[in-house]
Amino acid sequence: MTAIPPEGALPHDFDHTHADVSGGWLRAAVFGAMDGLVTNTALVAGVGGAGVDAQTVVLSGVAGLVAGAFSMALGEYTSVRTANEQIDAEVRVERRALRMHPEAEEAELVQTFTAMGMSEDTAAAAATEIHADADRAVDIHITHELGVDPNEKPSPAVAAGSSFVMFSIGAIIPLIPYLLGFDSLVAGLAVGGVGLLLAGGLAARFTDRPVLHGALRQLLFGAIAVGATYAVGVLVGVGVS
């Protein structure tokens, strides 16, 4: 059944909205949670496979949580800040080009609009109107040439905070049995596996993909890392003993 819009309403007011796709909090949160789960579940598997006691497993896991959370947060902040600064640099390049070659830049915009399906006259009129405002012209050129909106850059602090929190949550999950007093590597890996399933399924919900597919895919990726790390831990443990 087709939705009937209220008088004067736009589709985004009543019919649909879009998720954050600018690379801000969501990407950082999903990446952080997945990395925390995989990293610490694999770490628990490797240390536990070496035959150490529960206290050493917990110590290693907590150290991995703290180090990983700060590493992820700092990495996210730096990468997003760098990407934003690169966009700012391109804005300065475009602003200089508009100042030095306004006719050529306007002709370029006309070509862009005609490639989108506008008639030559409509494209020329639109480009002329846009170029009447230098700031607006820069925004339009950057949006069409680079595919990014210079006014909608993600926040480095939000990305860092999301990554830090979600990595910590993901990393604590395989440690839960040990923190509750169970000295069981199998229990730790099982809880980590459940966490991977839940995280993969939840991430799939944001992309409208099959939840089961996302859950099993993340479990498979995690199992590869856990299996490899466990094998290394067993080999190291045997060599040390």
Residue 199 lies in a domain: yes
pTM as predicted:
0.79
Residue 181 lies in a domain: yes
Which residue has tokens 């991995």? Answer: 64
For residue 240, give the DSSP letter: H
Q: What's the total number of domains in the chain?
A: 1
Task: Count the helices and strands in the chain (H runs, E runs).
Answer: 10, 0
Residue 157 lies in a domain: yes
For residue 173, give the DSSP letter: G
What pLDDT sits at residue 17?
A: 54
Give the residue from 167, 196, 204, 148 showing the smallest Cα distance to 28: 167
What pLDDT sits at residue 27?
A: 78
In the chain, the amino acid numbered 22 is S
Give the residue from 156, 165, 157, 158 showing the smallest Cα distance to 68: 165
CB 70 within 8 A of CB 41: no
Residue 12 lies in a domain: no
Residue 6 lies in a domain: no
Residue 8 lies in a domain: no
Residue 7 lies in a domain: no
User: What is the span of the domain harbouring residue 138?
Assistant: 25-240
What pLDDT sits at residue 171?
A: 95
Per-10-residue mean pLDDT for the chain, 241 residues long?
56 52 70 90 92 91 95 94 93 92 92 91 92 91 88 90 94 94 91 92 81 90 92 76 48
What pLDDT sits at residue 7?
A: 61
CB count within 10 Å of CB 168 equals 20
What pLDDT sits at residue 216?
A: 92
Question: Residue 124 corresponds to which tokens in the numbers above?
Answer: 């020329």
Residue 9 lies in a domain: no
